[in-house]
Amino acid sequence: MSSINLAVAIPTLVGSILSLLATSIALVAHVVAPPGRHFRHALILNLLIADGINSLNNSISGIFTMINLDKPEPLSPGPACNANAFVGQFSVQAVDFNILIMSITVLFTLRTRRLSAEPSRLTITSLCALAWVPSIITSSIGMGLDAYGPVSGNWCWISSERASLRYALTHSWRMAIFLATFVIYTYIYIHLKRTFNRFALSTTPTTNHNIPGEHQHQVGGKANDSLDTTDTSEIIVKKTFYIDTGDHSPAAAAANPVSFASATHGEPTPTTATSTGGARHASRNNLRRMLLLNGYPVLYIVLWIPGIATRLTEAVRGSSPTWLLVMQSSTQYIGLANAVTYSWNEKMTDRFKRLLS
């Protein structure tokens, strides 16, 4: 009788296949109907490629496991198992570090705006390549130590007898990334919430005179020379919490006081308005676009909660209950979640409609 628990194996395989299909569709859509060029797309594509490799690898081993359920050990040690383990370690850790880089990039943009504009090709390439460096190192170490073999899941990986190596090469890194991502996004949420509350208190539905002076269009003033961190944050809050419809009627002013105030404030000179307004508009758009990266790390945290809980339970009790192992299959749906997030944020359906029309 097979040692595979179908209650765990089936939802895990379903997640791998769905993630593979969704990631493939998202990557094809990016090629066929590419979005407007922006720095964030390189980070997203890097993540989707890692997701695609991992879900393909897990789908192959998962299907092979189902085919060989009549055997006591559906997966056996050997070159194929080693290759599956190497690719699995390589790709899943690349996903982890892609998420960390995204989180740090959003935080850095929020605090400094230095990455909100299009960086150099070297910077983009370096950031994307950086996510793969730890995964190459750790997967190669596992192969060099001959630590790979069949495990309790749908794949091969570091054998259960090498628990300390699992923590050294994978679990400790993931827990650190999970914690860092959680802390970063807790900070971002609190920061934006405080800024939004401060903005709400300083504006009214009928007037724009209460907007702080540093955010008014002052010709030749300090506000036009540079935007400090508070200004950056409040721009982000505006773009995150309000939708500027272009309607500057009194009713629109009541519904969207910040956008209305910003659009109707005193007129600067034409030359200054063109240069300063254009720069601010571009900066605001870039900040808003970078915030579209928020969904990927947040979903990563949510879907990895059962996996982290399993690791902690095993560390304390030595094993995990079946229900927790079943819930851990949520980690295989990360690729699906990322692909759906990408399609939603980039309005893939609308782009395809325009392409076909």
Q: Which residues contact 341 (CB under 8 A, 6 or more apart)?
A: 295, 296, 299
Nearest-angstrom CA–CA distance, 254 and 248: 10
Give the residue, 292 or 217, on which the prediction is more confident: 292
In this predicted structure, which of 15-29, 177-191, 243-257 has the lowest mean pLDDT?
Answer: 243-257
Which residue segment(s) compose the domain that 148 sits in?
A: 6-172+317-356
Which ranges constitute the DSSP H helices of the chain?
6-32, 39-67, 79-112, 121-130, 133-144, 163-166, 172-201, 222-225, 229-241, 250-255, 257-264, 270-290, 295-317, 322-327, 334-345, 348-356
Residue 279 lies in a domain: no
In DSSP terms, 157 is beta-bridged to 149
Asked if residue 194 lies in contact with residue 229, where contact means CB atoms within 8 angstroms, the answer is no
Distances, alpha carbon 97 to alpha carbons 47, 146, 170, 205, in Å: 9, 24, 11, 44
Residue 256 lies in a domain: no
pLDDT band, very low/low/confident/very high, at 330 (cuts 50, 70, 90): very high
Average pLDDT value for residue range 157-169: 92
Q: How many domains does the chain have?
A: 1
Residue 186 lies in a domain: no
Residue 130 lies in a domain: yes
In this predicted structure, which of 67-81, 165-179, 249-263, 272-286 has the lowest mean pLDDT?
Answer: 249-263
Query: Distance between terminal CA atoms of the chain?
Result: 56
Residue 154 lies in a domain: yes
Quote the pLDDT of residue 281. Answer: 53
pLDDT in tens, 339-355: 998 888 777 666 666 66
Query: The domain that contains 111 carries what CATH number?
Result: 1.20.1070.10
Q: What is the mean pLDDT of the chain?
A: 77
Quote the pLDDT of residue 18. Answer: 98
Quote the pLDDT of residue 172. Answer: 94
Does 204 have pLDDT greater than 50?
A: no
User: CA triplet 33, 39, 40: central angle to 5 degrees?
Assistant: 75
Residue 274 lies in a domain: no
In DSSP terms, 150 is beta-bridged to 156
pLDDT in tens, 99-154: 999 999 888 877 775 555 567 888 889 999 999 999 999 999 999 999 999 987 78
Residue 247 lies in a domain: no
Residue 271 lies in a domain: no
**Three-state secondary structure readout of 90-138:** HHHHHHHHHHHHHHHHHHHHHHHCCCCCCCCHHHHHHHHHHCCHHHHHH
Nearest-angstrom CA–CA distance, 94 and 337: 16
